[in-house]
Amino acid sequence: MIPGLIDSLADITSHRDRDEVDRAIVAMLFSHIRPGRVCLYRLLPGAAEGAMEARGVQLRAVADAAGARTPPEEDPSDPQGWPTVDSRAPWRECVRRGDVVHYLGDEGEPGSLNSVFPILADHGLIGLLEIECAGRCMSLRPEDVRLVQAVLRILRNHLSVLDYGERDTLTGLRNRRTFETMFAKRRVFRRRAGDQKAGTRTNWVGIVDVDRFKAINDTFGHLFGDEVLLLIARRMQETFRQSEALFRFGGEEFLVILDDADESGAMKAFERFRTAIEQHRFPQIGQVTVSVGITRIDAYDIPASAIDRADSALYFAKEHGRNRTLAYEALVREGLLARKAVQAAELELF
């Protein structure tokens, strides 16, 4: 068993994509423990530390007799139907205790004892791992529990390494290196869902730029400038939905992938954020504003093409008063911008 276990751990730590890591974890545990099913859940980020039980819970990977997979029904843009930590007593108790919880299953074979483990990262609880027992494995043995806990410690260390390369050190948001991967996942999901017809809800990318940021640095110093960026990042996390992908793109520029909205809804979401920044009083500095340019992500878009369109709308906002949110598509309809050709991604056969 030991050589196979080492091979499985090596496979887990060879992955850089989070979805691949999740699938490798559940596959490895199912293979070595042989329960009825292994499920890995991620907790969606919450605006407040004290609201842990209200956090959304998203199923990210499953392993059972049919194999390991990411559930196709889990739409990353539709968190409305997802359960919360508080919706299930074993989850709530696991989060409260920060330790494994064993419980009798409501479904499955009578007498089976299921288990749920907390998944920790350096910045706290990020998920839950649930093992549903059945057949010859009616409950976890002590050595099985130790195995799961050891694997989750390895996962924590691996995620720390990934976060170091994927997170902006000042704001904690995703950095520019991760944008293309996230963009491709959103685009591919929408294409598979057949959701790209004119007038339907789709995904959007928005570029947020801090107005007159150089003047802030020159007048108050870089320490206060960094505080402005940190506070703006926090407002982004509080204003946008839990499922949205938020990035610091470099300097005073941020980027948001907004899920599942028509043009009116996208404008409202970004306007809500712009207004929140305008109304916030920043220490020492007072009022800070941002300008925003947005564009729809087309079915076969590439990141560079979408960013170029959003940047055109942002530049127009900067040149016409700042502290505004403008959509590229609306500017084209009004004859204020020339339409750019959409650069298509290569055809994906598989």
- From the CB of residue 8, how many other CB atoms can be counted at a distance below 10 Å? 17
Three-class SS string for the chain? CHHHHHHHHHHHHHCCCHHHHHHHHHHHHHHHHCCCEEEEEEECCCCCHHHHHHCEEEEEEEEECCEEECCCCCCCCCHHHCCEHHHCHHHHHHHHHCCCEEEECCCCCCCCEEEEEEEEECCEEEEEEEEECECCECCCCHHHHHHHHHHHHHHHHHHHHHHHHHECCCCCCECHHHHHHHHHHHHHHHHHCCCCCCCCCEEEEEEEEECCHHHHHHHHCHHHHHHHHHHHHHHHHHHCCCCCEEEEEECCEEEEEEEEECHHHHHHHHHHHHHHHHHCEECCCEECCEEEEEEECCCCECHHHHHHHHHHHHHHHHHCCCCCEEEHHHHHHCCCCCCCCCCECCCCCC
Give the residue numbers marked as catalytic.
Answer: 252
Q: Contact at 8 Å (CB) between 213 and 252?
A: yes
> What's the first-to-final CA gap in the chain, in angstroms?
34
- Collect all residues with Cβ–Cβ distance below 8 Å to 96 and sequence separation of at least 6: none
Q: Contact at 8 Å (CB) between 79 and 166?
A: no
Residue (of 20, 65, 14) closest to 181 by Cα position: 20
